[in-house]
A and B are shown apart, each in its own frame.
Chain A
Amino acid sequence: MRSPAPRAVPEARRTPIARREARTAYLFLAPALVFFAVFFYTPIADILNTSTLTGPHADRFDGLGNYADAFRDPAARNSFKVTLLFAVGTTVGAIVLGLALALLANRQLRGRTLFRLALLVPYLTSIAVIGLLWQNILDPQTGILNRVLDELGLPTQQWLITHPLATIVAVTLWMISGYTMMLFLAGLQGIPQVYYEAATVDGAGPWRRFFSITLPLLAPTTLFVSVMAVISGLQAFGQAYIITGGGPAKQTDLYVYHVYETAFRDRDFGYSSALSVLLMLVIVAFTVVQLRAGRRGEVQY
C-alpha cells in the first residue's frame, strides 16, 4: 500500500507573518515582473503569433507553414550550419583560452591587475566598434596587419576572403576571452590550497595536479562558461552584420543575421518569427543537454 503523499500547507493555515512576507516578496518582484512582461514575454507572445502568419504585412494565417518552410529552406539550413560551427568554435576557444589566461593571471606577476584589466577591455567594448576595428586591421589592401606582415617580409593574408568563418570566430574569441578568464580566475581562487599541498606531498607533478585537481574542481565554472558561450554563439549577430555582411557567398551568414535579413530585407516577418522560435528551441535543448552532462561530470573532494 502506498503511503499518502505529503499535503501542501493550506492557505488558511499560513500565519499572518508568512502572508505579509509573501506580499512583501511579490512587491519587490513586481518591477522585475513588469519589466520582463513588457520587454520579453509580450514580444515573445507576439513572435509566436506572428510565426503563424504570412505575407508582406504578416496578416494571413498560415498555421505551421512557416515552420515547414524552415526545414525545407536551404538558406536557413546553411545559416544554421554556419552558426553551429561558429558556436562550437567560440565555445571551445573561450574555454581553452579563458582557462589558459586565468592560469597565467593567477600567478604572482608584476602588473597583474593591469594584465587582467587589459584582457577585459575588449569584452566591455561594443561589437560595432570591435567589428569596425578588425575590419580595418584585416583589410587585405588597406589594413594595418598586411602592412606589418609586408614590412617583416612575411606573406600577407586575405583571411576575410579565404577563412571568413574562422576569422570572425577569432575576433569573437579576442573579444570574450577576457571575460571567461575572469570567470575561471574566480573558480581557481575558490579551490582550497590544501589540495595542492597534499598532492605535492604525495609526489604529484604540475600536470597531474592540473588534471586531477584544477580541472575537475573547475567543472562548475566550465559548465557555466560553456552554457553561456553556446547561447551567445548561437545568438551572434554583429560579427556578420558589421564585419562580413554574411559573405563571402553566405559563408558567414549567422542565423540571427539571416533572421534579420529575412525580416527587414525580404519583408517576411512571419517566416523570420518562425526561425526565431526554432532558434529558441535549439538554445533550450542545448542548455538542457549541457546542464545534464555537466551534472554527471561534477567532482567533489
Chain B
Amino acid sequence: MSASDAPGISRRRVLGLAGAAAAAAGLAACGSGAPESDSAPGGGEDGTFTVYWNPGHHYEAYQKVIKEFEEEHGVTVRMQMYQWEELETRLLADLQAGRAPDVLEEPGGWAQRYALSGDALSLRKYLDEDGKAMGFPDDWQPATVRHNTHAGEVYGIQLHMTCQLLVYNREMFADAGVRPPTTWDEVVDVAKELTHDGVYGLQLNQDQAYGWPWMLQNGVLDYNHTTKKVMQPQDAAMEALQFQADLVHRHEVSPVPVPSKDYSAPQKALSAKRAAMIVTGPWDLPVIKQSSPDLEYGIAQMPTGRRQSTILAGTSMFIPKKAPRPDLSWDFIKRLTTLETELAATAETGMLMPRRSWAAKPEVKGNADIAAFAQGLTYAEDAHPQTYLSGKGTELDQAWKTLYQSVLMTGESVPSAYREYTDTARAIIAD
C-alpha cells in the first residue's frame, strides 16, 4: 500500500483542522467568559482583602496604614496593581463572572458610572455613621463630593485631587527672554520664541484627556443631559480645537502627537530638553526631578481663553456592590483618607489631596510646587460633569478621541472632524 492510500488524515484535512483550530482559538480569546486569573478577588474566606490599585500610587505612607489595618483585622491585604485600562478590564471581567475586589482605586468618574449601572455600593449607611467624625462632606472640596455622587447618594471618596498646569523649563524661558503665557495669543507668541533647533515651544499630549483644559477655557460642555447635545457651544468648541490644531500644523510650535497609549511623551521631551513647556499635573514632577535633576522647572497657571480653567483630576476609591466585606472596605477607605495620611503622602510624593484642612496646613502652603497646583484647583473643573448620565460615557470618549486625533494628528479640518464627531455622538446617545 502506498503512502497516499494509507488511512488517516490527509494534508488538506490537516490544514483545514489547523485553520478551524486557529479560528476557534481567536473566538475563545475574544470571549466574555471568565478571564485568566492569577488570583481570585474578594477572598473573604481565606482572610485575604483584595484591593485593585494604581502602581503609581503605592506610597510608603499608605503601606504603613495598610499594615495597621492588617494587624487590627487579622487579614492580609493584597494590593493588585494595574494601570487604569487594565484595572477596568479586570474589574469588568470580575463583575461579569459574579465577583469583585473588596475596594478599588479609580481615576475619576467610575464611581458615578458604576453607581448608574448598579455595581457600586452606596456609602450612605457608612457616612451616616462616620461622616461627621471624618469631616465628610464639610472638609472635602465640594467638587470632589459632586464628582462621586449619583442621584443624591455618595458612592466614592476622593483620594487625590489634582489638576493640569503649565510646567516649563526656566532656563529656556530666561534665554528667550519670555515669561509664561497668560492668554492664548501669548501661548502662540511665547511658543514661537521657544521653538528652534529641534526644541518645541509647547508639546501637546497624544492623550485626548489633555485636550480638555483648552476646551474648558472656552466654556465647552461635552454633554448636556437635559438637551442631549454634545460639545456645546459649537463655535467655542471649534475655536478651541482650531487653536490646538494650529499649534501643531500652522504655527508648528508643537510636534505632531504620535498615537499610542503612553501619555508620558511630553514629560519625556521636557526632561530631555526637547520641549520648553508642557501641560501636565503634579504626578510628572517626581519623574522630571529623577530623570533630569539638573533641569530647573517652573509651574505656571493655565492661560485664559474666554475664561481661566483647567481640568480637575485625581483618583477616588469605591466599593463594588459585590464586595465580600463592605464594612472592612469602608474602614480601609477611612484610614487612607485621614488628614494625617494625606499629609504623609504629600510629604513623600508631593501629591495633592482633597481635604480643605490639608490645603490650610503650613507645610502645604509653604511648598512652591504644591502651592501652584493648589491655586490651580481653585478654578479647575470636572470636564465631564453630566456625561456618565448618558450611560455612554466611554463611547463618547472614544468619539472625542477620534476627533482629537483627527485634528491634531491627521490634520483633518476642524469643521469636517467636528461634524463627524457630532454625527457619531448623536448616534451613540440615540442608541
Contacts and interface: CB of A to CB of B under 8 A. Distances in A.
B23 A141 contact: no
Interface stretch (B14-22, B40-48, B281-289): B14-22
Contacts of B233: none
B416 to A, nearest CB: 11
A100 interface: no
B256 A142 contact: no
Contacts of A280: 23-24, 26-27
Interface residues of B, number: 52
A249 B412 contact: yes
Given A140-B256, A220-B11, A247-B409, A228 B22 contact: yes
A140 B255 contact: yes
B394 A139 contact: no
Interface stretch (B67-75, B257-265, B336-344): B257-265
Nearest to A273: B32
B205 to A, nearest CB: 13
What is the predominant secondary structure among interface residues of chain A facing chain B? helix
A263 interface: yes
Contact of B256 (A161, A244, A250, A261): A161
A74 B420 CA distance: 12
A42 B31 CA distance: 10
B270 to A, nearest CB: 12
A56 B88 CA distance: 14
B12 interface: yes
Contacts of A277: 27
A245 B260 contact: yes
Given A269-B96, A284-B20, A295-B12, A139 B258 contact: yes
B261 A245 contact: yes
A265 to B, nearest CB: 5
A248 interface: yes
Interface string A254-266: 0010011101111
Contacts of B27: 43-44, 47, 276-277, 279-280
Contacts, number: 169
Contacts of B272: 142
A119 to B, nearest CB: 23
Interface string B115-128: 00100000000000
A247 B22 contact: no
A106 interface: no
A135 B410 contact: no
Interface stretch (B155-163, B368-376, B399-407): B399-407
A267 B402 contact: no
A44 B410 CA distance: 39
Q: Which of B23, B85, B95, B255 has the most CB of A within 10 A?
A: B23
Contacts of B22: 228, 231-232, 235, 283
B15 A223 contact: yes
A26 interface: no
B409 A291 contact: no
Nearest to A230: B19
Contacts of A135: 260, 262
B31 A142 contact: no
B328 interface: no
A248 B405 contact: yes
Contact of B394 (A39, A141, A266): A266
Given A227-B15, A235-B22, A284-B23, A269 B409 contact: no
B28 A265 contact: no
Interface string A139-172: 1111000000000000000101100100000000
B92 A267 contact: yes
A184 to B, nearest CB: 16
Nearest to B89: A264
A214 interface: no
A180 interface: no
B405 A283 contact: no
B367 interface: no
Given A141-B274, A160-B258, A223-B15, A39 B89 contact: no
Nearest to B392: A266
Contacts of B33: 42-43, 46-47
Interface string A85-127: 0000000000000000000000000000000000000000000
B32 A160 contact: no
B398 interface: yes
A130 interface: no
A286 B398 CA distance: 31
A214 B288 CA distance: 59
Contacts of A250: 402
Contacts of A249: 402, 405-406, 409-410, 412
A40 B269 contact: no
Q: What 4 pairs across the A-B complex have the smallest Cβ distances?
A: A247-B259, A287-B19, A276-B30, A248-B409
Given A231-B22, A280-B23, 6 more contacts: A142-B268, A160-B258, A245-B261, A267-B117, A279-B27, A288-B16
Interface of A: 39-40, 42-44, 46-47, 50, 56-58, 74, 135, 139-142, 158, 160-161, 164, 220, 223-224, 227-228, 231-232, 234-235, 241-252, 256, 259-261, 263-267, 269, 272-273, 275-277, 279-280, 283-284, 287-288, 291, 295
29 contacts: A43-B28, A43-B33, A50-B32, A56-B117, A57-B117, A141-B269, A158-B258, A160-B260, A161-B410, A224-B15, A232-B22, A235-B22, A235-B25, A235-B29, A245-B259, A245-B261, A247-B401, A249-B409, A249-B410, A261-B398, A263-B32, A263-B92, A266-B392, A266-B395, A267-B92, A272-B32, A280-B27, A287-B20, A291-B15
Interface of B: 11-12, 15-16, 18-20, 22-33, 85, 88-89, 92-93, 95-96, 117, 255-256, 258-262, 265, 268-269, 272, 274, 391-392, 394-395, 398, 401-402, 405-406, 409-410, 412, 424
